[in-house]
Chains A and B, each alone.
Chain A
Amino acid sequence: MKVTFKIWRQDSPKSKGVLKSYETDGISEDMSFLEALDHLNEILVAKNEKVVAFEYDCREGICGQCGLFINGRAHGPHEHTTACQLHMRSFKDGDTIVVEPWRAAAFPIIKDLVVDRSAFDRIIEKGGYISAKTGTAPEANAMLIPKEIADASMDVAACIGCGACVATCKNASAALFTSAKINHLNKLPQGKPEQHRRVLDMTAQMEAEGFGSCTLTGACEVECPAGISIASIAEMNNRYVRAKLLG
């Protein structure tokens, strides 16, 4: 099939970007969306042009490195699906497909479709861990964790850190991401000793990074590839209030 990609091209963080059109032939329905971009890049090389910079690694929906705004939606037309898991059969011959980077003040553009998401790492750095050194662990089964709690913790621990929640939010809020890590750890007995400090420090960092505030529109949970629900944000808010009172 043949499609026209309209792709955001921007040379560097400071330069001005534009949407450029590329008519692309030879696309097959079985190609993943990223393979179609690979294909476009091979055509660009043949024409001696610079390739489109975009991000990926695992290409199986788990590493969270890919992230594209496709026709106005984070990761494209399907819910709970990463861009690398999207296939060209979701488009029609002759379609025009607009591809843009994540847009958020806290995710500055590096080049073309590549953004800097290190703000997420800095949020984790402020408490997304359990302060125990290697070599100090007690016997694993000495601590019983009910299945319901382990499962609920896993539901949010599944976050892949792609940033679709931020990209799709009109406020560019990172509440879903931050809540997922806080709740993953705070639900577990191992996470209790640091629970209050964790909520306060991580949310403070989230604000310091320039993410917007959450108004619970629910847009994020629709796009989240890991299917994390906004109930997680409500839970974080609750924990925040308790931490303020008790912490």
Chain B
Amino acid sequence: MKLDSKIPEGRLEDKWSNYQLKSRLINPANKKKLNVIVVGAGLAGSGAAATLAELGYDVQCFCYQDSARRAHSVAAQGGMNAAKNYQHDGDSVFRMFYDALKGGDFRSREANTYRLAELSAPLIDHYVQQGVPFAREYGGVLINRSFGGVQVERTFYARGQTGQQLVLAAYSQLYKMVRAKKVKMMVRHEMLDLVLIDGKAKGIIARDLVTGQIKRFAADAVVLATGGYSRVFRLSTLAIGCNGSAIWKAHKRGAYFAAPSFTQIHPTALPQTSDSQSKLTLMSESLRNDGRIWVPKDKNDTRNGNDIPEEERDYYLERRYPSFGNLAPRDISSRAAKERIDAGHGVGNLKNAVYLDFKHAIERFGRDVIEDRYGNLFSMYKKITGIDAYKEPMKISPAAHFSMGGLWVDYELMTTIPGLYAIGECNYADHGANRLGANSLLQASIDGYFILPNTINNYLEDALKQDHPGVDHPEFDKVEKEVKSQIEKIMAVKGSRTVDDFHRELGKVMWQECAMSRNKQGLERAIVQIKQIHAEFWKEVRVTGTDNEMNSELEKALRLADFIELSLLMCTDALQRDESCGAHFREEYQTEEGEAVRNDEDFAYVSAWEYNAGDFILHKEKLEFEYVQPSVRSYK
């Protein structure tokens, strides 16, 4: 199958309007006859479900939590970018587009990335209208701050809870449409498979997490908005329930998976303290403005951080990147930390952290100033670790944070399965090999609010003329049977190990070999190990309780079974891409100073993988750069 990105004609800045001019419309009376399933109720899912319902479609929206308000978009702290140029500092749509394209190391489509920037300003208007209490100046206008290395101030925020405030706006709008009886909200329902009829997406199979019942849902189109899959590493900044199951099942039914191995590792999270730890909390990157990062020079140093004299400390970022120092970009800082930790210099009980030290900053500016700048972060640190960071250096560690990879989609956000769309973090579209901070709340939101509701007509107009198969269609029988047999199979293993035990094992392999820095031998080894984990899982996992009740062990087991398969594809992808780009750093492809070496000649394409009975076939979507010529990303 040839990948058709469906990029519209015309100049970059005209493409989206040209698309809208040509796209087909459906009259309101007919929209009522069409039913759309939206799986996910984060920013992408809620935005899409509410807007489709406002337009007149009948919508069924799903989430696994007890309410749409809990989606993990809620955890975003920093903010959301928009090219409003309110600060009069030279920002523009083109500049924002350029930053995102370059930040992604030239592995995304120009047309998509441009549209991301283009729709950012109207999105701020939208959220303000919905009642988001963004930060304001005394005079009443909106405030901005800067984020992640860009040179303008274009980030909008609501204290440290931007994601929460956006989610609450999207959730309210969604429940407005629930009240209008245009959206049926299915909370505590987890999608377990996709149903295709004549090759088109026509429904899903979901498990009611309260009763355990397996249910069928039919529709004219299916939209996946299920978020990121970084829980494949087990320890990550994601919520415990975040999963890759919906997109993985879609992949197994024919949707190509793009750049699965592109994962962003955030440098400043709280370290793991024990094997039973379940998640890593993010600490704002802003701390690196005043904190200095170091490890002991001596590997066997067991003294407290404060007792180690200056000359026995290695401020490795300042040493390796004298011009950027502690403010080196995310991927580089994370990799440098890993390098020191792997060399045995890590600190903390598990020797898996580095110090972030405010001693010098406090001496220089006084405690008051530091408290004013970071007070809330220091108290959060104390809440979690019990340590007073005004007196002792913080311990921080890199953590898996964001999936750039996801289902391949065209300009209309449709996957390679007709009638199946992927929006938000679960697709691969705008961020290339590395996403910029504060661009993903944006992407999830515009996908749901602005893009999908304009593109889905193009497909649904045809669907209108076709019949609308119901849940009694034989394909539903077939897929439901497969889902049930998978559940029965897991319940029947009755082995000796817990699901979490397997997840820890998988997480360790993925973290070691397929995270910040990768190499051929490591990835080949990981593939062997993952196959062993897979075999062992199906022989030894133990799920207690039954499948016809609320059963968190069963939920976890089903998600992990999919993660194990997905991790194989991630390693396959990382192994195939013989270059370093963005977050994908292959040790074989670096300069003498450890800089990534990108290879545009051979790898200026998006890898889109097709599932083939346990194996994967690579398809390439060539990337053409008409408006910006790829350049080298350097931080020396």
Binding site for B on A (CB under 8 A): 11-12, 28-32, 34-35, 38-39, 41-42, 44-46, 48-51, 53, 55-60, 62-65, 81, 85, 87, 89, 110-111, 114, 116-118, 120-121, 124-126, 128-141, 143-147, 150-151, 153-154, 157-158, 160-161, 184-185, 188, 190-191
Contacts and interface: CB of A to CB of B under 8 A. Distances in A.
A191 B131 CA distance: 7
Contacts of B240: 56-59
Nearest to B272: A30
Contacts of A130: 129-131, 172
A110 B551 CA distance: 12
16 contacts: A38-B500, A39-B276, A50-B545, A59-B278, A110-B210, A111-B549, A117-B66, A117-B67, A118-B67, A129-B172, A132-B130, A133-B51, A139-B125, A147-B136, A147-B140, A154-B158
A160 to B, nearest CB: 7
B321 to A, nearest CB: 30
A142 to B, nearest CB: 9
B142 to A, nearest CB: 6
A236 B130 CA distance: 20
B94 interface: no
Given A124-B175, A144-B141, A188-B133, A114 B67 contact: no
Contacts of A63: 65, 69-70, 72, 74-75, 239
B130 A129 contact: yes
A58 B137 CA distance: 31
Given A60-B279, A129-B176, A144 B164 contact: no
B284 interface: no
Interface string B46-71: 01001100100000000001111110
Contacts, number: 211
Contacts of A60: 75, 279, 281-282
Contacts of B74: 58, 62-63
A58 B70 CA distance: 8
A85 B384 contact: yes
A147 B135 CA distance: 7
A56 B556 CA distance: 13
Contacts of B185: 121
B498 interface: yes
Contacts of A135: 51, 126, 450
Nearest to B163: A62
Contacts of A188: 131, 133
Interface string B176-210: 10110000010100000000000000000000001
Nearest to B122: A137
A230 to B, nearest CB: 20
A106 to B, nearest CB: 14
B386 A87 contact: yes
Interface residues of B, number: 80
Contact of B139 (A35, A46, A53, A144): A144
Contact of B168 (A41, A53, A89, A157): A157
B161 interface: yes
A55 B66 CA distance: 9
B143 to A, nearest CB: 9
A48 B138 CA distance: 61
B498 A42 contact: yes
A32 to B, nearest CB: 8
A5 to B, nearest CB: 15
B138 A147 contact: yes
Contacts of A126: 179
Query: Which 6 A/B pairs are nearest by Cβ-Cβ distance?
Result: A144-B140, A129-B172, A137-B129, A137-B125, A154-B133, A30-B273
A191 B239 CA distance: 32
Given A38-B278, A128-B172, A111 B136 contact: no
Contact of A121 (B134, B175, B241, B384): B175
Contacts of B141: 141, 144
Given A38-B278, A132-B129, A44 B550 contact: no
Nearest to A120: B67
B84 interface: yes
Contacts of B131: 129-130, 184-185, 188, 190-191
Nearest to A58: B239
B125 A138 contact: yes
B239 A57 contact: yes
Interface in B472-520: 498, 500-501
Contacts of A34: 278
Contacts of B384: 85, 87
Contacts of B84: 140-141
Contacts of B125: 137-140
B225 to A, nearest CB: 15
B151 interface: no
Interface in B388-435: none
A111 B551 CA distance: 10
Interface string B511-553: 0000000000000000000000000000000111100011111
A161 B453 CA distance: 29
Contacts of A128: 172, 175
B22 interface: no
A58 B549 CA distance: 23
Contacts of B146: none
Interface in B433-448: none
A158 B163 CA distance: 11
Given A35-B278, A65-B65, A184 B133 contact: yes
B444 to A, nearest CB: 14
B165 interface: yes
Nearest to B210: A110
Given A154-B159, A184-B131, A65 B276 contact: no
A39 B54 CA distance: 46
A35 B277 contact: yes
A45 B542 CA distance: 7
A198 B173 CA distance: 14
B374 interface: no
Contact of B274 (A31, A53, A138): A31
B552 A53 contact: yes
Nearest to B386: A89
Contacts of A53: 550, 552
B171 interface: yes
A97 to B, nearest CB: 17
B625 interface: no
Contact of A62 (B161, B278, B279): B161
Contacts of A118: 66-67, 187
Nearest to A27: B276
Interface string B267-290: 000000110111101100000000
Contacts of B278: 32, 34-35, 38, 59
Contact of B69 (A136, A143, A161): A161
B66 A137 contact: no
Contacts of B385: 30
A85 B278 CA distance: 12
B445 to A, nearest CB: 10
A174 to B, nearest CB: 14
Contact of A57 (B65, B165, B187): B65
A160 B69 CA distance: 9
